[in-house]
Amino acid sequence: MSSLAINIQDLSYRYKQANSPQFHIPQWQVPQGQSVFLHGDSGTGKSTLLNLLSGVLTPQSGSIEIMGQALTTMKASQRDKFRANHIGVVFQTFNLIPYLTVLENIKLAHYFADNKGDISAKASELVEALKLPAGVLTTPVSQLSIGQQQRVAIVRALINSPDVLLVDEPTSALDASARDAFLTLLVEMTKSSNTCLIFVSHDSALQDYFDVKTDIKSLISKEVNA
């Protein structure tokens, strides 16, 4: 089995709109279990890269392997299945369904993965580990604070034990002490499950929590973007 969680080779992507910049990464490799702080100026392509890694966007050329499996050659249905089983995502808006309870939201994520069975026990464990209140599983998401919703989004992303967890700017809604506690937990949890964590943020004060700090500019090929 590959020891790389992510292996990108000669990746090119361009949005369909006229004048969109070409986004090109000659190569990028991230080992299993590594935590990466991915930063860079606004508009440099961080969200685009996360969307390519999660298979939401499909590149025009090049390859993306996750755990040695080529995301880029999968059919859309295979890619959806693969994402459910191997990739956790927490994007800025959390994408939780507000009128469903926390447990119903988590079950929905689990439904799309292969590993069936009752996940209530694991959901309770994660809820406790992320220091959410005990009764939260039966609470509708709309009744939670933003900080709690963020933790629920993490629980949902971790429920299928992903190999790669992609997190986009999640801490802006939190105060400094809540943010510290959140990041410490997030890094601990991903380390203990050998999950590769790609964490995108503008806030360089957060970089010390992570194994590696990567500026997206260093990944993007200069000639193509000139």
Ligand X SMILES: Nc1ncnc2c1ncn2[C@@H]1O[C@H](COP(=O)(O)OP(=O)(O)OP(=O)(O)O)[C@@H](O)[C@H]1O
List C-alpha distances in Å: 78 to 60, 86, 114, 132: 18, 12, 12, 34
Among 24, 46, 83, 151, binds ligand X (CB under 6 A): 46
Q: By CB under 6 A, tell whether 47 contacts ligand X.
A: yes
In the complex, least distance from residue 50 CB atom to ligand X, rounded to whole angstroms = 8
In the complex, least distance from residue 41 CB atom to ligand X, rounded to whole angstroms = 7
Backbone angles phi, psi at 117, to 5 degrees: 105, 175
Q: By CB under 6 A, tell whether 45 contacts ligand X.
A: yes
* Identity of the residue, 41 or 80, whose beta carbon is nearer to ligand X in the bound complex: 41
Q: Which position has the token pair 């040695």?
A: 68
Q: By CB under 6 A, tell whether 24 contacts ligand X.
A: no
Site pattern 79..98 for ligand X (x: CB under 6 A): --------------------
Q: By CB under 6 A, tell whether 21 contacts ligand X.
A: yes
Among 3, 10, 20, 60, binds ligand X (CB under 6 A): 20
**Residue spans of alpha helices (H) in 36-101:** 46-53, 76-86
In the complex, least distance from residue 106 CB atom to ligand X, rounded to whole angstroms = 27
Q: By CB under 6 A, tell whether 151 contacts ligand X.
A: no
Axis crossing angle, helix 176-192 with helix 146-158, rounded to the nearest 10: 10
Q: How far apart are CA 94 and CA 151, in angstroms?
A: 10
Q: How far apart are CA 146 and CA 151, in angstroms?
A: 9
Axis crossing angle, helix 120-129 with helix 102-111, rounded to the nearest 10: 120
Only one of the segments 4-12, 35-43, 71-79, 111-119 lies at the binding site for ligand X (rule: CB under 6 A); that segment is 35-43
